[in-house]
Chain A
Amino acid sequence: MRATLAAVILLAVIVGLIVAAARIWRRRAQGGEVDGGVDIIPYLLLALAVGTAGFTLAALARSSLTGNQLAGRPTGEIAGALAGLVVSAPIAFLLWRRQAARRKIYPEAAGWPVYLTLIELAFLAAFFFSVWDLAGAIFGEGAGANWTDLLVYGGIVAFNWWSERREPARGDARDLPRLTGSGVALIALAIGLIGSLTWLLSLAYDGIWGLDNVPEPATPLTLLFVAGPIWAYRWLPPWEDEPGSLLNFYLGLTTTVTLTMVIGALLTVVVMVITFFFGERPAPASDHFSDLPVTLAVLLGAGPLWWHHVRRLARERTGARRGYEYAMAAVGLATLVGSSVALVEAAFTPTLAGTDNAATLLTLGCIVITAGWVWLYFWRRAQRASPRQQEVRALPRRFYLVGMAIVLGLTAAGSLIAVLVIVFRALLGEVDGMGGNLRLPVALTLVSGLATWHLVDQLRDDRAGTAATTVKPFSVTVICSHPGNLGAMFPREARVRVIYRDDNLAVIDEDMASAIVTAIDGRSSFVWVDQDGFRIAPARER
């Protein structure tokens, strides 16, 4: 579980950092203020030094204050921790002072939010792991309760929040530390919530039908009560500015993951019921439905989390909304391809006498139908979106079409190679078992090939539609503090002129940019942006 969690967190942060770096790069390329450079390397070194110092301090506290010492004095642990501290602490101190001085000159350097993010990620995750371990040790059978980890990691997280409050992150990556904290706390909250619900539902199930193993509630309940307030502190307070790309990315990711969990749980319940009634030789009902508490706990835990986050997505087709819907379409399509191939394989696999594969076929059939429905639902929503020109040019659509075409195209090519190897081997005289070997690669080639063909065809349509639609040249004059990526959202026929205001009250975010492009709809216009939003006045056509 930890490896999966760590992989998900790492992936989310890497993507977030790439998005932040891309935005910074684009801003610099557009001739924005350099702000003393990105200043990223010293902050990465600072994060490394603080991280080393923090974890070695935790090791020192652990060996000095906790653990049941059986033999000898902990000189080895103390020596190791001291060595780490002697090297990392002075580096951290000097770099901290240097960067604090540089922040006064270049307050918008991107390194500061990146540093805050890395420390929040490492130590908040370590804090939740220590909560989990301590609860397990106190309420379970563990001998060593490492309460010092809780103090050290909690102290570092609190210091990090205090530093952020004292010197708030600015620039394009300003939301990254809070979003990272929200994400880590949300994962811990979800684990605690689902674990606690599993315990409650298992108790109920045990009371009615009997259950072999009712999970212990102490650890998930502890995690729930600790993670809940932290998540509320990091996520619920209002965001200072309008939603930026990072917040949109976060919302898109959380809504996609939580909805996938909800659909997966619902599907599992349906499969349980169908295989009970239509599978051959069903087990006793109490055994067959013994996974129901866990499944319902996932449904009841992930459902409200999805609802909470999806309500924060704008109803208009903003970047976040599109990201969520195309991500769901990608999940649906990928699952559809995988489950279809598995279904073909299961349907044509010769079974031994008496072997029951009805449950497998029913399960795979349900997955195919659900995945197909999810893909069609979100894909059709995207196809009906208007204005068409804007949808076709949207970045999430390009990512979806190009990314999925590459992945599925490579899958089809790889499986085709496997088919040809078997065919050539047969032609060269090795014919035994050719039919059985061919089933899986042929099915994979056909299904992923069909999906790739659909995606490439759609890409061609998008390109043809863009080329065929003739938009008259038009000009837009925007009066604002910062245009954001408004220029990139207009079609090529637009000539955009920006008049900058002297204040910082009229920054155009992604949602507003999308709304402006929709409202202008290819007509020459003046756009006035202030703290209340934007107003449009028609201009003479050029």
Chain B
Amino acid sequence: MTGLEPATMSDMDEARRVPGWVFPAIGVATVVLLVVIGLNREPEQFDPDTAAGTVQSYIAALTAGDFDTAAAYWSDDGCIPESDQPTGGVPDISATLVRVDGNDDEATVVIGITDNKADPVDGIYQHDEWFSLVHQDDGWKIRQPAWPYYDQICEEVMT
């Protein structure tokens, strides 16, 4: 016996083994990092002359409680809510742009909305909303605004 024992396969396996705390630590660090990034995230600024930018301005007006300004984005024709006051009050939401389809005259903007006030036990609090826009002389206008006026009877305006 020389006192120097050769390493066995199981010794080498043990040496190669990743310590048990490594993966949980990486996981916790990743989650903390993502939360910090997410909470410090500010909305992007879209060009207000585009369809997406119009919807952004419209939602900004709604979330600020400025319903007169929001109503100014409605198209003159189509089905317009009877009141510019949403029944649920000022919406407390965050929104992301999902998709924009269309051409120079008409566009559909799909928005992902997360309702921050909704009780999560009661049901869905994340949903997509479709905004149908038409290009008029003074820029893009929203036709038949649905969200957040679902419970209102809309009035058909013929021009």
Taking Cβ atoms with an 8 Å cutoff, the residues of A that contact B are: 57, 60-61, 63-65, 67-78, 80, 82, 85, 89, 93, 97, 141-144
Contact = CB atoms under 8 A, between A and B. Distances in A.
B89 interface: no
B20 to A, nearest CB: 7
A67 B46 CA distance: 13
Given A70-B95, A72-B93, A85-B31, A77 B60 contact: no
A68 B34 contact: no
Interface in B6-38: 20, 24, 27, 30-31, 34-35, 37-38
B20 A71 contact: no
A280 to B, nearest CB: 40
Interface stretch (B109-117, B136-144, B145-153): B109-117
Interface of B: 20, 24, 27, 30-31, 34-35, 37-39, 41-44, 46, 52, 55-56, 59-60, 63, 92-101, 111-112, 114-116, 120, 125-126
A72 B39 CA distance: 10
Contacts of A78: 35, 38-39
Nearest to B28: A89
Most B Cβ at <10 Å: residue of A57, A70, A74, A97: A70
B31 A68 contact: no
Given A67-B112, A89-B27, A74 B98 contact: no
Given A60-B34, A76-B126, A141 B97 contact: no
Given A64-B41, A70-B59, A141-B101, A75 B116 contact: yes
A80 B35 CA distance: 12
A76 B63 CA distance: 15
Contact of B96 (A70, A85, A89): A70
A70 B96 CA distance: 5
B115 to A, nearest CB: 7
Contacts of A57: 27, 30-31
A71 B98 contact: no
Given A69-B96, A76-B115, A77-B114, 11 more contacts: A57-B31, A64-B34, A70-B46, A71-B56, A72-B95, A73-B39, A76-B94, A76-B125, A77-B94, A78-B38, A89-B27
Nearest to B64: A71
A70 B52 CA distance: 9
B7 to A, nearest CB: 19
Contacts of B111: 70
Closest 8 CB pairs between A and B? Answer: A64-B38, A72-B94, A76-B114, A68-B97, A67-B96, A70-B95, A64-B34, A71-B95
Chain B facing A: main interface SS = mixed
B58 to A, nearest CB: 9
Given A64-B34, A76-B115, A93-B24, A71 B60 contact: yes
21 contacts: A60-B35, A60-B38, A64-B38, A69-B43, A69-B95, A70-B96, A71-B59, A71-B95, A72-B94, A73-B38, A73-B39, A73-B41, A73-B42, A74-B94, A76-B116, A80-B125, A97-B20, A142-B99, A143-B99, A143-B100, A144-B99
Contacts, number: 110
B31 A60 contact: yes
A460 B37 CA distance: 71
B114 to A, nearest CB: 4
A69 B44 CA distance: 6
A70 B38 contact: no
A117 B100 CA distance: 38
Contacts of B30: 57
A74 B94 CA distance: 6
B38 A74 contact: yes
Contact of A69 (B27, B41, B63): B41
B95 to A, nearest CB: 4
Most B Cβ at <10 Å: residue of A57, A80, A143: A143
Contacts of B92: 72
Contacts of A77: 38, 94, 114, 126
A93 B24 CA distance: 8
Nearest to B101: A141
Contacts of A60: 31, 34-35, 38
Contacts of A143: 52, 97-100
Nearest to A69: B43
Contacts of A80: 120, 125-126
B60 to A, nearest CB: 6
Given A76-B114, A141-B99, A68 B35 contact: no
Contact of A72 (B43, B44, B46, B99): B43
Contacts of A70: 43-44, 46, 52, 55-56, 59, 95-97, 111
A77 B46 CA distance: 22
Contacts of A65: 34, 37-38
Contacts of B114: 74, 76-77
